[in-house]
Amino acid sequence: MISLKTKEELRSMAEGGRMLSEVMKELKKNVAPGIREKELDALAGKLIKEKGAQIAFQGYHGFPGNICVSVNEQVVHGVPTERTLKEGDIVSLDIGLIWKGLYLDMARTFPVGKVDPEASRLVRVAKTALRLGVKKAKPGNTIGDLGNTIQRYVEGQGYGIVRELCGHGIGRDLHEDPQIPNYGQRKTGEKLKEGMVICIEPMITAGAYHLKLEKDGQTYSTRDEKLSAHFEDTIAITASGPKVLTRD
């Protein structure tokens, strides 16, 4: 069942979204060769708690970290380890918090030091795919309109778009209805309505879009071990158009 948020809930989610984007900005400053995944995880947990918010991911379906740290071929849900980031890696940080009982969720992929042109282009395309998807998040458009826009752009750039995982509604729970695929056909699926809050999160791959679940039971990686990039924002559907609550 799709829940429509009240004005008070939207105000609270906007507050939480600003907090989350501030945490992401601090994490970005610390992404550099030599830092360990667990250091980023610990920093995120500290920053979220300092804001008076709750950590959203820890313990969710058994997830052991504060945030998801996914490197190179890892697509999403990467469990933070003692692994050290190296020059040329790309790392996706997926972070969430709970503010006044409401969830916020966002993700960004960052270069670690200097990366090769192909990795840089992959990240750019994923970021643009999110921006194009957000533009379609207006009342009256359908979920298919949104997914089709992302799919046509990403595949037009020569990349794969993940199908096994998708975006989602968000609010009192981290994952609510409706599901928001990053592919689809125009004028199909649920119509977007004022008061809905959704997470749009393109996950794109340098090769095929097929995934595998790693032995930790959490991390999804590309089956062909080629690079992946992931961007996500929490967006409110308003009468005047999409409002990005996690704007950085």
Give the structural domain span for 215.
7-244
Does residue 79 contact residue 216 with C-beta atoms inside 8 Å?
yes
Indicate whether this model's pTM tops 0.95: yes
Exposed e or buried b per residue across 34-44, where buried means at least 16 C-beta atoms within 10 angstroms of its C-beta: eeebbbbbebb
At 47-95, the pLDDT tens digits run 999 999 999 999 999 999 999 999 999 999 999 999 999 999 999 999 9
At 96-152, the pLDDT tens digits run 999 999 999 999 999 999 999 999 999 999 999 999 999 999 999 999 999 999 999
At position 138, the amino acid (one-letter code) is K
pLDDT reported for residue 248: 75
The chain-wide mean pLDDT, for the chain, equals 98
Residue 84 lies in a domain: yes
Q: How many domains does the chain have?
A: 1
CATH number at residue 198: 3.90.230.10
3-state secondary structure 66-110: CCEEEECCEEECCCCCCCECCCCCEEEEEEEEEECCEEEEEEEEE
Residue 102 lies in a domain: yes
Residue 125 lies in a domain: yes
User: In this structure, what are the phi and psi dihedrals at residue 104, rounded to the nearest 5 degrees?
Assistant: -130, 150
pLDDT greater than 90 at residue 247: no
Residue 2 lies in a domain: no
Residue 140 lies in a domain: yes
- The first and second tokens of residue 128, run together, are 């643009």
Residue 234 lies in a domain: yes
Residue 216 lies in a domain: yes
Identify which of 187, 185, 189 has the alpha carbon closest to the alpha carbon of residue 177: 189
pLDDT reported for residue 147: 98
Residue 110 lies in a domain: yes
